[in-house]
Amino acid sequence: MNGEHRRRIDRILDDEFLAGFESADLDLIRELRQMTDEVETELSYYRRLLHGRMDLLAFELRRRSGEETRSLIEALPEILGSGERTGPLGRVPAIFSPDLPDERHRPVDKVLGDDFLTRMPDLSEEELHEMQALLAETEERISVQRQSVQQVFDKIQAEITRRYKDGVVDGVDLLAD
């Protein structure tokens, strides 16, 4: 497979990604797990950014409807703090910004690259609702991808665990995990 010119997520979600991995070298399996974990972290990061934008837009719409009297600046710490989420059980959530690939051509990059915060006061309610729908669609797409990547990660982790249980690898290899 010529995976060097494909996006990592496309490679991970390809049916051939795990083909024959049960008989693969442990180092290769660890590389697959690391790549899968990095992509999941990247997707999680994008989701957090999207949720922050969606929270800001929702606040602005409430402010415009009169439900909220504070300014965006006054409410910003609360808005951004309310979006804290925890990762799935058994996984340590990454609390840092991941090393993102240099390519900035994905749809999420277009949505997140918008300078809507500086333009938000000038946007109509209709434009805000359209942007909110676009963010929600993008978040849904990323969530589905993230769940699929997590399933691949779980299969890889299960294979590593199986090898330890079956004695295929010895305890010295635990230091590498």
What pLDDT score was predicted for residue 118? Answer: 81
pLDDT beneath 70, residues of the chain: 1-5, 83-109, 112, 114, 170-177
CA–CA separation, 112 and 170 (whole Å): 46
What pLDDT score was predicted for residue 120? Answer: 84
- pLDDT 10s digits, 99-118: 665 555 566 667 767 677 78
Q: Which of 147, 138, 174 is closest to 30 using CA atoms? A: 174
How much is the pTM?
A: 0.78
> Letter for the amino acid at 26?
L
DSSP 8-state secondary structure symbol assigned to residue 168: S
- The greatest distance separating any two alpha carbons of the chain, rounded to the nearest whole angstrom, comes to 65
